[in-house]
Amino acid sequence: MTLHMSPPRFALMPRLIAVCALLCASALAMAQTAPVEPAAPAASTTAQASTANGTGPVTMVSELSKIPAPTLGAKAWLTLDANSGQIIAAQDPDARVEPASLTKLMSAYVVFEALESGRLTLDQKVHISEKAWRTEGSRMFIEPNTDVTVDELLQGLIVQSGNDATVALGEAVAGSESAFVALMNQEAVRQGLTGTHYTNSPGLPDPEHYTTVRDLAVLARNLERDFPKYMHYYSQKEFTYNKIKQSNRNRLLWADPTVDGLKTGHTKSAGYCLVSTALRDGRRVISVLVGAASDAARAENSLKLLNWSFQNFDTVRLIKPDDAAVHARVWEGEQDTVGLSPGEPLWVTVPRGRDADIDSVAHYAEPLLAPLEKGASVGTLEVSMDGRQITTVPLLAQQNVPQAGFFSRMIDKVRLLFN
């Protein structure tokens, strides 16, 4: 990786010493009769950063490779590297599609949030309403006016794709399915799923119930990243309830031991859909495929997409958790420089064998003025290859930089005049 940066240049010429001394003497006299102006808050530095970044269209990783994407029988599809968050390849990523039971990825996300916040517990018993029992489509076969644990209902939702279990959990979380759907839409907005809208929790057909494969990939990545303790449900191959054993509809759980999720979906209008994910040598890839012609076709095409993504692309770590991407000059602070970092490990996905061709450029606010708070966003790191941007991440201050004393600030003000 080659890192470029362009911090401010400051050459202190000999005549500046005299100017500085004169200005400091004058400022001292002023300070005896007037109060010192308060320092600008750290938020103002962040505001500067919003206009001091590199922007541009982000390139899909496959566009940098000479290896063609596989030909797949599907309406739309996408493959995403979960470590880097980069899209490897896609077909019609923003086309509006019917999610069918892939909706249950968001239903589960909201339930997991309720579990983490303590509003639900896995052993808590949920009273089954007649509405939940009557929900059409795939079923867990729960009975009305009975009590079923949240753990059992989650297995019904995820393993059996039970619409009845999904509605029952929604009622347990929010009091009614309509209120639960409102939470689902609220969460979609929070995650930036701009092409998604829900009208029900199981995924029943509705003209206003839609998503995109891009949104599904982002949701799947967030689900695995935010709730790893619940991901075992997605690799569970079967579940028996009410003396009825049902198998997970994700055929890839039997076909490939590295596949550990996530969710199938099917209606007549949506076709056969699958969000699948595999973990190989610490690298996770997520594939989204909708509108296949059959159950076998969605499994075969999804596995083809996963294998192609692993075999032809690498994900490399550019920055470790505590490493600085660049050290930037700070003015009017108690220290002259501050480390800028993405705040978390930076992974980048590139065509296999091309990690040496990665280029990165740091863009940050100039001049960078103290005080700075640890974690303040002051710029971006733009990562590219062959002159094409492949990802951009924020640059955050790695430590606090308090404002310097009066005389030191005056010296820096003079330096800035000649910078």
Mapping DSSP to helix (H, G, I), strand (E, B) and coil, where does residue 271 land? strand
| CB-count burial class (<10 Å; 0-12, 13-18, 19+) for 70 | middle
Beta bridge partners, 238, equal: 247
Query: Strand, helix or coil at 273?
Result: strand
The size of the chain, in residues, is 419
Closest CA to 342 of 392, 395, 391: 395
Structure tokens at 157: 């939702």
The answer to whether 304 and 292 have CB atoms below 8 angstroms apart is no
- The residues, ordered by sequence, that sit 6+ positions from 50 with a Cβ below 8 Å of its Cβ are none
CA distances from 330 to 273, 403, 404, 414 (A): 52, 10, 11, 14
Give, in order, the Cα–Cα distances in Å from 76 to each of 214, 301, 307, 381, 414.
Answer: 10, 12, 18, 31, 59
Dihedral, CA atoms, 249, 254, 259, 265, nearest 10 degrees? -10
DSSP class of residue 331 equals: B
In 3D, which of 83, 102, 119 has the Cα closest to residue 193?
102
Give CA–CA dist 365/197, Å, rounded: 37
Strand, helix or coil for residue 138: coil
Question: Omega of the bond prior to 70 within 30 degrees of 0, cis?
Answer: no
Residues involved in catalysis: 101, 104, 161
CA-to-CA distance for 219 and 384, rounded, in angstroms? 25
| CA gyration radius, the chain | 27
Query: What is the DSSP track for 164-206?
Result: HHHHHHHHHHHSSHHHHHHHHHHHHHHTT-TT-B-SSSS----
